[in-house]
Structure 1
Amino acid sequence: MLINNKIIISCGIISSLVSHPIFAEANPIVPVNKLTAFTNAELIIAPGKRLSNATLLVENNRIKAIIEEDGIPAAALKVDLSGYTIYPGFIDPFTDYAIEFEYPKLGLKRPVYDIKRIGGNAENGAIHAEKEWFNYVYPNKERAKDWINNGFTSVQSSKLDGIFRGTGVSLSLADKNANEVIYRARSQPFMAFDKGTSEQDYPESLMGSIALIRQTFADANWYNQNKSKPVNSSTSPQMEFNIAFERLDNLAEKQIVFETKNLNDLLRAANLLKEHKQPANLLASGQEYARLNELKALNYPLILPLNYPQAPDVGTDDADREVSLAELRHWERAPTNPAAVANAGIPFAFTQFGIKTDAFWPRLRQAIAQGLSEDKALAALTTQAAEMAGTADFTGKLAPGYMADFVITKGNIFKDGQIYSVWLQGQEQRLRSLSQAKMLGDYQLTLNNLTLDLSLKETGKAGKTTFEGNLSSGEKTIPLTHLTLEDDGRVSFNADLSEAGIQGISRFILWLAKDGIQGRMVDAQSRSNNVAGVAVAPTATQPSTPKADKTQALVSQLTYPNVAYGLTDAPNVEKLHIKNATLWTSDKQGILENADLLMANGRIEKIGQQLTTPSGYQVLDATGKHVTAGIVDEHSHIAINGGTNEGTDAVTAEVRIGDVINPEDVSIYRALAGGVTSAQLLHGSANPIGGQSQLIKMKWGESAEQLKFANAPASIKFALGENVKQSNWGEKFVQRFPQTRMGVKALFEETFDAALAYENALKDYDDLRSSEKKKTLAPRPSYRLQAVAEVLKQQRDVHIHSYVQSEILMFLRLAEAYRFKVQTFTHVLEGYKVASELAAHGAGASTFADWWAYKFEVYDAIPQNACLMQKQGVLTSINSDDYEMQRRLNQEAAKSMMYCGMSKEDAWNMVTINPAKQLRVDEYVGSLTPGKMADIVLWNAEPLSIYAKVTHTWVEGKRYFDREEDQLAQQQVVTERAALIQKILSSDDNAKTGEKVTPLNEPQWHCDTHYQAWGQHHQGAK
């Protein structure tokens, strides 16, 4: 009751309010029971499911019901949405929205081996698995508009920094406090290859990041299996607390969200996670159209950014020469990527990550114009995105019990429809006024005896709406000034009607009537005149012949790999009879004149003279030509992504070149043109014990995994000399032990002893009874020591970078002391001084033909080195260590004939059977021997001649290089480039806009190429 302007509340009412549970909290907010019926709308229930003229009933922050006929509760507030469409709210599964946190910058001096251990964190500064980002959520109303203006109602968010980035959180974009916007406090773990702001040196390379991930998975598994074991003896000491490892328990039950930056990284992330049977959703690069079969086989859902590249600068001759064909192709094909992914049956969601927010809908509509279905697009914004964000049980659909997160549009949002309002947890975020919108259109007004045509339309973008209009009388158009559309549906404007016979400025105010529009006009004499009008339907236009859509017609090819000289079709295994050639067998048969070779099923079947052609075989007359086994390169650094050195530690045996193979490197194709069919890809020489090597076949167009030489023995790169002790680079980058040659020897001994101790600890634990294992701490796994232990057990071959005789002898004695054999000394330019010792040990030598004096430790190199070592019984080969030299290894082999009179056969063997033996694959390749793989090269002249050219190269019976086809390919590249450049030059400005892309053009790696020397550190530093 109201007494003397004061409100009096009875004690009974106070008692009732205080007893309400919500008053248990400070500053209570009594909820308002809102029941709203959005009627006569087109409801998009879910992808592929729509209802016309239906009602969405919302109560508080949830959808209460979908009503198709009568049945709207009398108490409901009705909102008439005739002519409007309601979509489920859109969801972005990859953002960093509302995370208020920055990692401290410690400003540590190099080298940084250890970080500050705080609160049980991990040993490496790129591992933040302990972070649960709901703890740092602080909603940002202004930033939320970046998503809301495009129809997004919720996001999944994480701090995007580090390799293990912690557990994300799914959030509403509503303007509420953090407690109310958190949908899933712990959604999915986030990861990446980029170590972010970590000041720790390790890792600096891509292979180092992958090794750290692999080791961390193993560490976490070990920790969580052993943390509950009792502490009762020296065999089971106190395990350190590690919250990062603890948070990684049961990771296989979660969907990791993994960020990648390019297509190769996407595929290697998928392979790495598949290795650990780990579910995941992968942030894609926008280039997935180029490798769909590989992606489909790996079976991981993708998060697709709409990051279409800016048109390359091709305005001048100088500019277009700097643009690769791959860049030109990607500019044209990027908008086709979503449709290609959808057609391949790969699940995907969309994200705004990496683009300007106002580009999102134009880009998505481009994708639809290029063949993406609207249902697939909607699923990528709703149901599929909700699955990835962990909120599919209450977001992503219009369904009873789901959050009242929805979008109201006028028209088809995937064509030209506009968003009018976004509802977040039942609260409206208005972008355009529905009342204003009802006034828009064309009208015929009657003013006294005057007939005027009025046109009102909307301009501007969501959240910044403006309006335009004009009156017309006959052929005269009269602009409107001070045009205002009010939220209550009224429109007012001024107009000069002098042309229509009414002098002065007239002021109009109009509002909707039952059958049209009505209002009044006040003339210059302040006289009021009634105005009435009827809506006019848009004038129907005669259908015209549709113009060809420039975005639909693709002029680029799609090849494998999708770069210049890529293949349009995979080569087939040939059944072939090569006749009348000179065969360089590289085995005991020597050189055979006028001989034949049969190959089928990827193998050499038979060699001899005047062989009969079996049924079904093609015949190639090689009269005057020469056939050899494919060249084998013992030492190469081609086809590697993200660095050839993990030089941040003296021992990095855990890193694997096999993790970072780049199948798009044109050096593979160029190697084939030089007759090379196999190469060992080695870690660099920045540290004494580098990473694990990978032998590959030059299968141009195949995947990274398919390039790997099956059944090749495991190997590893060791190194001696100036690079190892940082003679020329340590001061600039890192200064770490060892700094001297004697320090290198000490490091080897220390590491070998640690590996032996590790193996003994594993054996001792394995020997325990089951009951004892339950009470004993298992040895912590170490991929680093495991690889070194494999060397000591002669399960992993050592190929060691070397120069001077003193260190060569040191390592020979060290190997013999630890009872393993050195497989090959590579470079070994003073090998001639210790050739007898090399031969006695059984080590091979892979050297340069005539490199010398390029640094101090090479001053004593001589071009007779290969001959002198071979004469002492050392298995000797010639290697490239250089992508250019690899294409002319045939000529490098011939140099020993000039320098020291080596025979043709011995010279040729140094690039075929000898390196095959050093790599222990001579049972498969290296000679023209029946039963071996058909890795074969056809030359137009004697292969040791400087005039010799490769005409064909087969790898396992497939023709990967054909000189005639190469000539055609060169012309096709010119033609395609010209067509794409013309398309760019003739395109409108909209087709040229996009993200400014800096392609990740890998440098040509060498033994001593340190990753930081490339200029853009892998950890993100400038």
Structure 2
Amino acid sequence: MVKVFTILFLGLSISAAGAEIPTATVNGVKDSRDTVIALRHATVYVTPEKTLTDVTVVIKDGKISDFLSNNQIPDNAVVIDYQGMHIYPGFIHLDTEVGLPEPAKRPPFKWSGPETLQSTTEGAYNANEAIKAGYNAADQFKPNSKANMALRKAGFTSALSHRHDGIMRGTGALVSLADNPAQLTLLSSTASQHFSFDKGSSKQDYPVSLMGAMALIRQTFLDADWYQQQNKMTDLDLAAINKNSQLPHIFTAKNWQQTLLTRKLSDEFKRSFVVKTAGDSYQSLQAVADTGQTLIVPLNYAKAPEINSPLDSFHVDYSDLKKWQVTPFNTRLLADKGVRFALLPGEDKQGLKTFLADLRKAVEHGLNEQTALAALTTVPAAILKRTDIGHLNKGARADFIVLDQALFNKEATIKDSWINGERVEIDAITPLAAGAYTLTVDGRSHDVNFSFKKGQLKLKPITDNGPVISAKLDGQLLTVMIAEQAPLMAWVSHGDIKPLPSDHRWSITAIEQKGEVSATETDEPSSKTIPNIPNPFSAYGLADTTTPDTVLFKNATVWTNEEEGILEHSDVLVANGKIKQISRQIDISKADLVIDAGGRHLTSGIIDEHTHIALLSVNDVAVNSAMVRMADAINSEDINIYRNLAGGVTAAQLLHGSANPIGGQSALVKMRWGVSPQEMLIDGADGFIKFALGENVKRSRNNQSIRYPLTRMGVEQVYRDAFNEAQKYQKEWQEYNDLSRSKKNKATPPRRDLALEATAEVINQERYISCHSYVQSEISMLMHVAEDYNFKVNTFTHILEGYKVADQMKAHGVGASTFADWWAYKWEVNEAIPYNAAIMDQVGLVTAINSDSAEMSRRLNQEAAKTIKYGGLNEQDAWKTVTLNPAKLLHLEQRMGSIKVGKDADLVLWSDKPLSIYAQAEKTMVDGVIYFDRDQQTALERQINEEKMALIKQSQASDDTKKATIKAAQPPLHCDTLITEDAYLHLNNGAE
């Protein structure tokens, strides 16, 4: 005979697996019961693709044992009737610190005070405190009941817990969220290895920038490879990197640009990363999709900015409004691109509490329900290489949640959470469903609404003109009180209400919801249409930059910068991004687009030899930062790119700042507005590097500094020491590479050092110096140092005392990139003169005018004109200071800097002579693509303003309970700028 123990909606703790530690001493009688549990009549979502209806789920030993149909029940089973309920696999959270102590916080970075140059961590750990790869979350894990319950209420039954601290963060532990001892809840002590670009609690100065973090990661991976082949030292962090190399690598990225950087690391080191994003992938959707990486996506929904006055409307950023509009579509957009992803709650303080609502919001905005469920179950399980969680197939852990409706219904609530066959009640299951009902007593009807608050039944009449009605639910007994009548009682079972005998004829039935749609519901579909997404995700993002393959500029005054000089009434034909023909009366049939350039001036694009626009950070702080690469910190969304295009700038050198004697490697870019960071880079360009002299390097404003060098004399010794070490480094590698194969197998290879490799490239004239410089004595010093090592300095930038040593510079073979008329803005430029550029040019130096300023770069044509006023250069030579001469300094003169057949079609059409203060760039073309067109600018501004006003109206009418404050714009970046996690700092108060 089958013995059945039936439980109806009782908040009892039931378990199909003992929660005792097998190795523990039992103080009493050992509980050896082998409970079998049968859950009847539920709808079970076994996987996102497989659903079973009205089945009995059998749980034994903490696992899914079987599915039975036709009301079959195992012998001796404890039966729970889940009729009308929906069972889903428990969600898996991939980014928690549950059960771990909070990591220490570092003090904010300051330019003043003594530096922290070495690690303060005791023990045989890495020399950089941001490398914490030896940390194991399992070593500090302690179950936390309060945190567990918060996660369980959101539907999670297991979580990946790891410490959010450092660049290489160590391993994460997969834990169940059951309130059991750690020995039973720790599912995997080493489930994953974690990374980020945030140095965390490290007190060391280096790194302070994104590109510094990238450089440290590269160096550490190289060190880990080398570590396996050496026996001179012990480094527990490097050992851990190697030991855990086969674990899933999870990388936390704070924005989509960092997501792209993880792919660079993956390609360089043949490591696959799962990337936890910031939920902003929609801003560069195709680039993120093209990485081919699996993502972990938080449901971060941007809040509508708070608008309290017309002035606020003016100051609110267009892109912030677009974020509010587009973020709900992020997951749908990723899914449409075929990106595999797992989901997380939003990262604000309410993220867990609003998670189910946020999840449904994503579905409302077009995310497929199966994809959404997979992103919480099968995908995270696959990321962790677990086959026992994330689904409810036979043999899986009995980790699941029970809801009173289908998960994606707005009113669905989680009732029970089961982990390893143990039940925890989340919200009491009531036999009566909330909603509208018709109560009929003796032929008289009243429409009422039932709701539940904290488990208590609430009755509210739908109309106000009826009698006073109240109700209470005690278990399955419903009692209804009407005015002064005797109570009416009914037995409720699974929504079926059966009145008990009474003096009145009465009934209560649910009101079916009719298909009438309110006005707000009618508007709903339009809100689910994907809005236009600007590219880049910024004001003046262009919907389309398509330019015909062939463009003809007709009847222009052409400034060639070649022997032909200035050509009147001439035509220039562009084809496939190159200048194809320069002539008069070119047949218009050769072009798809003909531009009437009559009365206008056509020039090659301006090239800014020294700028810091389009960067996410500028300085790092290591004395020799040659390993740092500005290409890792390109911000292709910087509005200054578009503003530069409006000023006729088509290319630039993005330089590291001047905080170090040896700075980072430059990035040479074209102003391709709307492309990814890597696509801005100029293919095949020579490598450059920033050096610096003077006050910034020796930290003149920090009298507590302990970092060498502190004097101008010390700066020279830094260079000589670096070059000596680089030569030694090259020699070591040469000797190793010359060994026979058999000897190599027995030898330890030299340690690869990225800073010394880049420094060696300078000596070998494979990388070229652009040196921040002011005082003539230091200028002379660096040339002498270079000559001692048989190479030439390529460019002195700023070079405001260049007029004093121009003849020496010419003999050395160095070029100059200077300001047109800056002087006396700090001590070491007190002897600068505005005639400097003209003097150096007349001596025969290749002389350029640069901006080093996001503002000045928009009017470099006027800066070039100052060399006519100060020094009497002719128009063509003056114009070359911002076009052909910087091209020569950057070794790009074969491709740009002049209008010549075969060169890149980087062209600017001016309304007047380009050196005139009245001249405006009307069209700016890069590689044959028109990225700025003044003829369309007015219409574009009107379109942006109209959309902005519409978004403000929509956002203020939204149901966001909390609006976001309006952010201040980031100040422009300069040579002495330092951007950290904590602050935006200037070494010399913005003086270069």
Change (3 A) 1:446 1:751: closer
Matched with 2:637 is 664
| Secondary structure class of the residue paired with 1:973 | helix
Counterpart-to-counterpart distance in 2, 1:617 and 1:1016: 48
Matched with 1:328 is 321
Aligned-residue offset at 1:22: 8.3
The one-letter amino acid paired with 2:122 is I
Change (3 A) 1:285 1:1017: farther
Of 682, 699, 710, which residue of structure 2 is paired with 1:739? 710
Indicate the larger mover: 809-818 or 305-314: 305-314
| Secondary structure class of the residue paired with 1:548 | helix
Matched with 1:256 is 249
Equivalent residues of 1:938, 1:950 under 8 A apart: yes
Superposition pairs for residues 169-568 of structure 1, below 5 Å? 169-224=173-228, 226-227=229-230, 238-249=231-242, 253-352=246-345, 354-355=347-348, 356=350, 357-391=352-386, 393-416=387-410, 417-434=412-429, 436-438=430-432, 457-460=450-453, 464-469=454-459, 476-480=466-470, 483=472, 485-486=474-475, 489-491=476-478, 495=481, 497-498=483-484, 500=485, 516-518=497-499, 534-541=507-514, 543-544=516-517, 547-549=522-524, 552=527, 557-568=532-543
| Secondary structure class of the residue paired with 2:977 | coil
The one-letter amino acid paired with 1:714 is G
Unaligned 5+ segments in structure 2 are 1-19, 987-992
Superposition pairs for residues 927-1006 of structure 1, below 5 Å? 927-987=898-958, 990-991=959-960, 993=962, 996=964, 1001-1006=969-974
- State whether structure 2 residue 609 is matched by structure 1 residue 596: no
Unaligned 5+ segments in structure 1 are 1-20, 228-237, 521-528
Question: CA deviation digits over 1:496-549, x for unaligned, max 9?
Answer: 732x4x5xxx696966599733558xxxxxxxx788965513245353475211
Change (3 A) 1:762 1:594: same
Matched with 2:989 is none
| Secondary structure class of the residue paired with 1:895 | helix
Counterpart-to-counterpart distance in 1, 2:393 and 2:180: 23
Question: CA deviation digits over 1:358-380, x for unaligned, max 9?
Answer: 11111111111111111111111
The one-letter amino acid paired with 1:497 is A
- State whether structure 2 residue 677 is matched by structure 1 residue 710: no
Counterpart-to-counterpart distance in 2, 1:959 and 1:47: 47
Counterpart-to-counterpart distance in 1, 2:797 and 2:787: 18
Of 583, 589, 602, which residue of structure 1 is paired with 2:558? 583
Change (3 A) 1:693 1:309: same
| Secondary structure class of the residue paired with 2:784 | helix
Aligned-residue offset at 1:77: 2.3
| Secondary structure class of the residue paired with 1:1010 | strand
Superposition pairs for residues 4-83 of structure 1, below 5 Å? 25-27=24-26, 30-69=31-70, 71-83=72-84
Equivalent residues of 1:441, 1:535 under 8 A apart: no
The one-letter amino acid paired with 2:394 is P
Equivalent residues of 2:436, 2:510 under 8 A apart: yes
Aligned-residue offset at 1:440: 5.9
Aligned-residue offset at 1:1001: 5.0
Matched with 1:85 is 86
Aligned-residue offset at 1:573: 5.1
| Secondary structure class of the residue paired with 1:664 | coil
Change (3 A) 1:914 1:196: same
Equivalent residues of 1:95, 1:353 under 8 A apart: no
Aligned-residue offset at 1:163: 0.8
Change (3 A) 1:657 1:78: same
Matched with 2:6 is none
Aligned-residue offset at 1:445: 7.7
Question: CA deviation digits over 1:322-341, x for unaligned, max 9?
Answer: 21100010011111111111
Counterpart-to-counterpart distance in 2, 1:144 and 1:1013: 30
Aligned-residue offset at 1:308: 1.0
The one-letter amino acid paired with 1:465 is G
The one-letter amino acid paired with 2:523 is A
Indicate the larger mover: 252-261 or 595-604: 252-261
Indicate the larger mover: 631-640 or 602-611: 602-611
Of 759, 763, 771, which residue of structure 1 is paired with 2:734? 763
| Secondary structure class of the residue paired with 2:242 | coil
- State whether structure 2 residue 611 is matched by structure 1 residue 636: yes
Aligned-residue offset at 1:757: 1.1
The one-letter amino acid paired with 1:1005 is L
The one-letter amino acid paired with 2:255 is N
Counterpart-to-counterpart distance in 2, 1:556 and 1:330: 11
Aligned-residue offset at 1:261: 1.8
Of 978, 983, 992, which residue of structure 2 is paired with 1:1010? 978
Matched with 2:5 is none
The one-letter amino acid paired with 1:291 is S
| Secondary structure class of the residue paired with 2:55 | strand
| Secondary structure class of the residue paired with 2:791 | coil
Aligned-residue offset at 1:1014: 7.9
The one-letter amino acid paired with 2:303 is Q
Counterpart-to-counterpart distance in 2, 1:338 and 1:325: 22
Counterpart-to-counterpart distance in 1, 2:651 and 2:496: 81
Counterpart-to-counterpart distance in 1, 2:464 and 2:657: 81
Change (3 A) 1:184 1:840: same
Question: CA deviation digits over 1:21-65, x for unaligned, max 9?
Answer: 987542386443121111221111111221111221111310001
Matched with 1:118 is 122
Change (3 A) 1:999 1:169: farther
Aligned-residue offset at 1:571: 2.5
The two structures have a TM-score, normalised by structure 1, of 0.89
Equivalent residues of 1:443, 1:534 under 8 A apart: no
Counterpart-to-counterpart distance in 2, 1:152 and 1:555: 30
The one-letter amino acid paired with 1:1008 is D
Counterpart-to-counterpart distance in 2, 1:608 and 1:757: 56
Matched with 1:137 is 141
Change (3 A) 1:872 1:276: same
Matched with 2:10 is none
Question: CA deviation digits over 1:307-329, x for unaligned, max 9?
Answer: 21221012212222221100010
Equivalent residues of 1:599, 1:934 under 8 A apart: yes
Of 605, 626, 637, which residue of structure 1 is paired with 2:580? 605
Counterpart-to-counterpart distance in 2, 1:633 and 1:59: 72
Counterpart-to-counterpart distance in 2, 1:23 and 1:396: 26
Percentage of pairs with the same residue: 37
| Secondary structure class of the residue paired with 1:592 | strand
Question: CA deviation digits over 1:813-865, x for unaligned, max 9?
Answer: 11000111110000101101101110011100001110000001111111111
Counterpart-to-counterpart distance in 2, 1:445 and 1:658: 71
| Secondary structure class of the residue paired with 2:431 | helix
Question: CA deviation digits over 1:108-150, x for unaligned, max 9?
Answer: 9831111234342111111110111111111111111211111
The one-letter amino acid paired with 1:713 is D
Change (3 A) 1:697 1:204: same
Matched with 1:873 is 844
- State whether structure 2 residue 772 is matched by structure 1 residue 772: no
Counterpart-to-counterpart distance in 2, 1:725 and 1:700: 37
Indicate the larger mover: 469-478 or 970-979: 469-478
Question: CA deviation digits over 1:928-959, x for unaligned, max 9?
Answer: 01111111111111111111111111111111
Equivalent residues of 1:452, 1:472 under 8 A apart: no
Change (3 A) 1:351 1:997: farther
The one-letter amino acid paired with 1:241 is T
